[in-house]
Structure 1
Amino acid sequence: MREQADGGPLVGRSGEPAAPPPPVTDGDDRSPGRGGPPGPRLRDYHAAFNAARTAMALVDRDGRLLAANPALGSLLGADPDRLADRRAADLVGLGGDERVRDAYHDVLRGGRDRLRCTCRLKHPGGQALWAEVTLDALRQEGTGEAAAAAGAALLSVEDVSEQRELAARLRHLQMHDPVTRLPNRALFFERLGAALRPPGHARVGICYLDLDGFKAVNDTLGHAIGDRLLFAVAGRLLACVAEGGHLVARLGGDEFALLVEESDGTEQTTALADAVLAALQRPFDLEGHRLAVSASIGVVERPAAGTSPTGLMQAADTTLYWAKADGKARWALFDPERNAHRMTRQALSSTLRQAVERGEFRLEYQPLVALDGGALRGVEALVRWDHPQFGMLAPNRFIGLAEENGAIVQLGRWVLAESCRRARVWQKDHPDEPISVSVNVAVRQVWDSDLVADVAGILDDTGLPPELLQLELTESAVMGSAGRPLQALHALHEMGVRIAIDDFGTGYSNLAYLSRLPVAALKLDGSFVRGFRDPEHPNPADETIVVALVELAHRLGLTVTAECVESAEQAERLRRIGCDTGQGWFYSRPVAPERIAEMLGTPAHSG
C-alpha cells in the first residue's frame, strides 16, 4: 500500500469541490439556506452519482459510508444499499499501513485535501484485485438540510489489476535473463542491496562463478548449443539451492551468482560452492554432443553491516580470479591478508614510474671484500624504495613488478647513473684505493632499451672509468643469450665494462657456453656457502662443488665472489678453497654511501 499526495480535491467550475450531494429524495431545488437564485436539483446529482462508472461513496467524518453507488457495489460484490454505515477503511483496506491510516483520518478531519494509495482488495467471490483508492475532502458551505447531510469526503475506487499485472509482466521481462530464465544482473543487485539493509547481525554470502571451457563450446559448436548449455547449467544451479531457497542469477556471458541472503556462516557458503562443483562435474548431453565444463568459484561471506554491494562484488571478483589462478575447477574463499597483498602489489605497480620521477628510491651498498687480507675491493649497489605509505621496501617487494610492467628500464637507468656518480666521488676522494661498483641488470633492460648507449652516456657524464663498473646478470639470463643480448654483452666488454654472472650454480650451468661469453667474474650462489655454516659438520658435496667451480673459473680467467658469508669460519674455508672476494653480513650489511667512504682504507670486518 503506498500513499500519493498528488493534488488537491476535485473542484467544479466555481472552484469549490465538485462532489455529489447525499442521496436524498425530492427536495428544494434551490441552493439551500441562502435564498437567491435556484440551484441544480439534488436528484440530478443523485442520478449522476448512481450512473457513474467510477466506484464512489460518500464518507462522513467518522469514516462511515453515507452512500455508495452501484459501481462500488459491483466492484466489492455487494448490494450498494447494504454498504451504508460500513467503515470505508475496512472495505478498501486503508487501515493496514500506519502512514496511510494517519493520512486517511487527516482528510476526514479536513487537515489535508487528498489521499491516494494503492490497496489490495479481496472480492467476496474469493478473487483478489488491486485498486487505486482516492479520498477527496469536501468543503461545506451554507446551512440547511443538504449541508447537514453532506459527507466529509468522497471515496473513489478504481480497479487497476490489469495494469498491475501488465507492469509485473514487463518487470519480469526486464529482470530476467531470456536464455536461462534466471534473474538477471539488475534483479540480483536489487536483492543484494535489500539483503545488506537489515539491522542487527545478519550475514550475507555469495558464490560468484564462471564456466571453465564454455568459450570453446561456443566457438566450436555455435551459440545455439552454447545457449542450451547455459540453460542446462542454470537448471543444475537451481537444484543446488532448492533446499535453501537461495537466489541464482545469470550476470552475463557465462557468469552466474548464488546469493545466500541470511547466511549461517562461511561453512554454509563453501558447502554450497562444493555442491555446485559436484553438480557441474557430470557431463551434459545436448543434441548428440557430450559436453564437459567445470566452474571456478569466488566465495565471499561476511556481516551485512558495513558492506556495500559494490564492495562485496569486488571481493567476489577477486576470489574468482584466485580460483582461476590456482588451477580452475575449484573455489577460493576471500582472504583479507591475501587481498591486502594483492592490493599492495597493484598500488606499487601502478606508481613505480612516478616514484622514479619523484625521487623516492635510495641506494645502499654492500662491500665486496678480498678474502686474502680483508681489503675493500668493490661494492654492490642495492636499491630501496622509500615509499610514502609503506615505508622502506627491499628490492624483492618491487623489482619483479618493475620487470612485469616495464618500469625496470627507467628504474635501472636511474640506479646505473646514481651508482656511477657515487663511485666517481669515491674514486676522486681516494684515487689510490679504487673500488668497483656492481649494478644488477635485468634482461628486459637489454631487450627494451639501448643498454650499451645508456652505459656509454652515463660513463661519459660521470667520468667514471669503465673498468670500475661491473654489470651483474643472472646465470639464466646470460647463459641463454643470443642475438641482441649477446651483442650488447660483447659491446660492453669492448668498452671496458666488466660482466659478472650473479647467483652462479642455480641456473643452466652450461659450462661450454660460459667460455664463449665476455664474462669477467662469477658470484657463487649463497646456497653453496650456507653449507659451510657448521665447521664441525661440513657438507662434503657443497665443498666439492665450490672447489670445482672456483678451479674452472680461474682456468677461464674469471674471478670468484662468494655471496652470503656470515661467519669467520666460512670466510676462512672459502679463502682456502681459492675464492677471491666475499660478500655478506660477516663483513657488512648494505649501508649508506657515507659508510662506504669511511671503510675505504680500513680492512673490512664483521659489524
Structure 2
Amino acid sequence: MRQRPAHPLDDHESPSRTFARAWAQRLHEVSFVPRRLGRTIPLLQDLTALLAAALTGDEPDPAAGHHAGTALVEAQLWSPAALRASVEHIHTRLRSDLGITHPDAADRLGPLLGAFTEAFAEGVRAVALTETDDLRRHERATAQRAVLQAEQERQHALLHDQVSGLPNRHALTEHLTTLAAKSDRLAVCVLNLVRFAEISDALGTDPADALLREVGLRMRDLAVTHGLFAAHLGGDEFVLVQAGTRGPDDAVKLFDLVREALAYPWGPAAHPVQLDAKGGLLERAATGAVAGELLRTAKMALTWAKSDPVGSYAMFEQHRHDADRRRHTLSRDLPGAVRNGALRLAYQPIVSLTDRRVVAVEALARWRHPDHGEVAPAEFIPLAERIGLLNRLIGAQLRAAGRHALKWQRTGRPVRLNLNVSTAQLTDPSLPAIVGEALDETGFPPDLLTFEVTEESITTPQASTLAALAALGASFAVDDFGTGYSNFARLHEVSRTAVTSLKVDRSLLASSDVLLTTLVTLAHGLRLHAVAEGVETEDQAAHVRKLGYDHAQGILFGAPAPPDEVAALL
C-alpha cells in the first residue's frame, strides 16, 4: 500500500482532533479510503464528539453509536477491516485520549459499540440491497460477507466482555440456565481480584486493562483444560462454573485451581504484580436452580470472603444467609422501634444480703419484633451500636425508666436505677448531653442513677465522658467484674470519684473461695460495694454473704419483670 505523508500536529490541536487524526490513519492503514486524509478527519472528528457526548451525558445514548456506524458506511468506509479498526480504536483510546472520567463511561461503552456495529451492518446491508444489477459478482459477495461478519462481530460483542474477551453476564446467565435443565449438580465460583483497585490506581487504566486481559487468558486456559465455563462480570469480578460436581469439596477444588492459575506474577520481571483472589463458592443440585439466584448467592458468599481478613474463600450456607437477612431486618426496624416506643423495659432487683431489701433495680431493654418475636438484648444492642443508635436508645430507656422509678417513689420509697452503657457509647461525646436532657425531662434525681460499665470502659481512656456523667450526679458500677482486663491503678483512681460497686460476674460463683474472697477484699479495699451476680439458690446466697459480699442479683431474688410487678417488690 502506498505510504501517505505524515501530518505534523499543531501544538494547539484539540484532543478530539488528535483522536480523529489517529482514527483516520488507522483506516488508511487497513482499508481503501475513497477520499483524502484531510477530508476524512473532519468527519471522524464530528463522530468523535458525538461518541464522547454519549459517554458523558446525563443519560446513556446508544443512538450516537448508531449514527456513527451509519456515517462510516455513507462515507464508503464499509470494509470489515475498517469496522474492526474503528471498534478497536474507540474501545482502547476514546476514554483515555479525551480524558473522559464519567463514572458510567466504561459501562456505556459496550452498548455504544454494539449500536455502532449494528448500524454499520445495517448500512452495509442497505448498500448491498441498493447496488445496481451491474455490481460485479465478487463485489456483491464481498458486501454480503461484510454483512455476515459484522453481524457475527455484533453478536460476539453482545455476549463477551470488551476487555477480557470472556463471555459476559448475559452469556453466563444463558449457560447457567442450560446447565440447570440438564445437569445433576453444579458449582459456581465468583472471584474478586485482591488489591485490583490499588493496582489500577498505581498503574493506570491501560495497564489495569492489560492485567484483566491476562486474567481472562488464564481463566480461558483453565476452562479449556478442565471443561469449565469462564465469564467476566466486569471490573475485577470473574466467574467459573463447573457441571457434574459431587459436593462442596469440588467447589473448593475449583477455587484452588483458580489460585494456582493466578500464582505466577504478571508484568515485567523488574516490577512483577502478584495476583490473588477471594472466592465466593456455591455448590448445589441443579434441579430448580435459577441463573440469577445462583449468581446472587455465590456473590453473597464472596461478600463473606471479602470481610474475612484471614480466609480466602467462603462457601454459601443457607443458615448464614438467614442470619444475615435477620440482622438486616432487625437493623432496618430498630430505629422505628426506638422512635415509637416499641422497646420496653424489664427490671431485675439488686438486694442487700443482710436483710433482702431491694437497694437498686437494673433496667434491661426488651424488644418483641412483629415477625421475629422476642429479640434478646445481646442481639439488638450490637446492632444498635453498628447503626449508630446506641445513644438514642439509652436516651429513650432513661426517659422510660425515670418515669417508672418516679412512679414507684410516689407509692413506696426511692430506689436506685442501674442502666447499662457500653464502651462504644462512652466514646461518644454527646452521651452526657443526652443523659442530661432525659434527666431534665423526667425529673429523675441523678444521684439515684448508676451506669453499669465494663472493665474495658474503666481501663480505657474515656475519662472526659465518665467525668461529665459524674458531674451530672450519676455513679458507676463495674459490671461482669473478673472476666476482663483490669487496670487496678485506673480502678483505684475512678473509685475515688463515682464508682460505687463491683459486680462480680456470675461465671465466677463456681470458682474457688480464694478468688471470690480476693475480689470482695479488693472491692472493700477500694471502699466499694461487692455485688454477686447470677445468684440462683439459697445456698449460693448464704455462701457469698459469708464471704463478705454486700449485695446480690439473680433469679433467687427476682427475674427481670415489668414495672408493675417490680412495684410490689419495693
TM-score normalized with structure 1 length: 0.65
Matched residue type, 2:556: F
User: Residues 255 and 462 (structure 1 numbering): CA distance in 2 closer, same or farther, change over 3 Å?
Assistant: same
Q: Kindly provide the amino acid, as one letter, of the partner of residue 272 in structure 2.
A: R
Q: CA deviation at 1:472?
A: 1.2
Partner residue, 1:171: 155
Residues 239 and 567 of structure 1: CA distance in aligned 2, closer, same or farther (over 3 Å): farther
Equivalent residue for 1:569?
A: 539
Corresponding residue to 1:238 among 220, 232, 237: 220
* Aligned partners of 1:229 and 1:286 also within 8 Å: no
DSSP-derived class of the 1:548 partner: helix
The aligned counterpart of 2:170 is 186
The number of equivalent residue pairs is: 425
Per the alignment, residue 488 of structure 2 pairs with 511
Q: How does 1:240-279 map to 2 (within 5 A)?
A: 240-260=222-242, 265-279=247-261
Among 358, 365, 376, the alignment partner of 1:383 is 365
Q: Residue 278 of structure 1: SS of its match in structure 2?
A: helix
User: What SS does the aligned partner of 2:485 have?
Assistant: coil
What are the superposed Cα offsets for residues 27-71 of structure 1, whole Å, 9 maximum, x if unpaired?
xxxxxxxxxxxxxxxxxxxxxxxxxxxxxxxxxxxxxxxxxxxxx
Q: Is the 8 A contact 2:391 2:431 kept in 1?
A: no
Note the alpha carbon deviations across 1:368-396, whole angstroms, 9 max, x for none.
Answer: 12122222222111111110010011101
Matches within 5 A, 1:167-566: 167-196=151-180, 198=181, 202-260=184-242, 265-284=247-266, 286=268, 288-327=270-309, 330-431=312-413, 434-448=414-428, 450-482=430-462, 484-492=464-472, 495=473, 497-517=474-494, 518-531=498-511, 539=512, 543-566=513-536
Alpha-carbon distance change, 312 to 402 in structure 1, aligned in 2, over 3 angstroms = same
CA 1:328/1:546 → structure 2, altered by over 3 Å: closer, same or farther? Answer: closer
1:598 correspondence with 2:550: no
CA contact (8 A) 2:429 2:465 kept: no
Listed one character per residue, the Cα deviations across residues 487-527 of structure 1 (whole Å, up to 9, x for unaligned) are 323313xx2x2221212223331111122222112111223
Q: Contact 2:189/2:240 (CA < 8 Å) preserved in 1?
A: yes
Q: CA deviation at 1:168?
A: 0.9
1:414–1:514 Cα change, 3 Å: same
CA distance in 1, matches of 2:211, 2:546: 71
**Conserved in 2, the CA contact under 8 Å of 1:192 and 1:261?**
no
Distance 1:483 1:528, change over 3 A: closer
Change (3 A) 1:465 1:216: closer
| Separation in structure 2 between the aligned mates of residue 451 and residue 475 of structure 1, nearest angstrom | 19
Q: Is the 8 A contact 2:266 2:272 kept in 1?
A: yes
- Alpha-carbon separation, structure 2, partners of 1:367 and 1:424: 16
Partners of 1:438 and 1:225 in 2: how far apart? Answer: 61
Amino acid at match of 2:517: V
| Deviation readout 1:123-177 (Å, 9 max, x if unpaired) | xxxxxxxxxxxxxxxxxxxxxxxxxxxxxxxxxxxx9665333211122133323
Distance 2:197 2:190 in 1: 18
Q: What is the distance in 1 between the residues matched to 2:287 and 2:234?
A: 28
Residues 329 and 223 (structure 1), Cα distance of their counterparts in 2 relative to 1, 3 Å cut:
farther
Q: Deviations over 1:505-554 (max 9, x none)?
A: 233311111222221121112232232xxxxxxx3xxx333322322222
Cα deviation for residue 262 of structure 1 reads 5.7
1:319 CA displacement = 0.3
Deviations 1:227-271 (A, max 9, x none): 333333223322332244322111122110112356555443332
Structure 2 unaligned blocks of 5 or more? 1-142
Question: Aligned letter for 1:426?
Answer: W
Structure that is richer in helix per residue: 2
Once the two structures are aligned, what percentage of the paired residues are identical?
A: 37
Write the letter of the residue equivalent to 1:347: T
CA distance in structure 1 between the aligned counterparts of 2:153 and 2:322, rounded to whole angstroms? 45
Alpha carbons of 1:453 and 1:217: their partners in 2 closer, same or farther (altered >3 Å)?
closer
* Amino acid in the other structure paired with 2:305: A
Structure 2 CA distance for partners of 1:449 and 1:420, relative to 1, 3 Å: farther
Q: CA deviation at 1:354?
A: 1.0
SS at match of 2:191: strand
- Partner SS, residue 171 of structure 2: helix
SS of the aligned residue for 2:281 comes to strand
Alpha-carbon distance in 2 for matches of 1:202, 1:164 = 38
Deviation of residue 441 (structure 1)?
1.7
Q: Aligned partners of 1:513, 1:265: CA distance in 2, in Å?
A: 55
CA distance in 1, matches of 2:385, 2:271: 45
- How far did 1:337 drift? 0.2
Matched-pair contact (CA < 8 Å) for 1:523–1:560:
yes
Letter in 2 for 1:595: E
Higher strand share: 1
Q: How does 1:78-157 map to 2 (within 5 A)?
A: none
Q: Which letter maps to 1:462? A: T
Q: Distance in 1 between matches of 2:183 and 2:411?
A: 69
In the alignment, the residues of structure 2 paired with residue 324 and residue 371 of structure 1 have an alpha-carbon distance, to the nearest angstrom, of: 52
Q: Counterpart in 2 of 1:585? A: 555
Cα distance change, pair 243–562 in 1 and its aligned pair in 2 (3 A): same
Q: What is the letter of the counterpart of residue 189 of structure 1?
A: T
Kindly indicate whether the alpha-carbon contact (under 8 Å) linking 1:251 and 1:257 is maintained by their aligned counterparts in 2: yes
Return 387-396 or 297-306, whichever deviates more: 297-306
| Matched residue type, 2:528 | L
Determine if contact 2:427/2:462 at 8 Å carries over to the other structure. Answer: no
TM-score of the two chains, using structure 2 as the length reference: 0.69
**Aligned-partner SS, 1:516:** helix
* Contact kept? 1:471, 1:499, Cα under 8 Å: yes
* Amino acid in the other structure paired with 1:575: R
For the Cα contact (< 8 Å) 2:222–2:228, is it kept in 1?
Answer: no
Distance in 1, matches of 2:432 and 2:327, equals 31
- Structure 1 stretch 440-449 or stretch 543-552: which is displaced more? 440-449
1:202 shift after superposition: 4.7
Q: Which has the larger radius of gyration?
A: 1
Q: Distance in 2 between matches of 1:324 and 1:244?
A: 26
Which sits farther off after the overlay, 343-352 or 216-225?
216-225
* Distance in 1 between residues matched to 2:252 and 2:427, nearest whole Å: 46
Q: Residues 455-506 of structure 1, C-alpha deviation per residue, up to 9 Å, x if partnerless?
A: 33433433333332211122211221345313323313xx2x2221212223
CA contact (8 A) 1:295 1:329 kept: no
Residue 204 of structure 1: CA displacement? 4.0
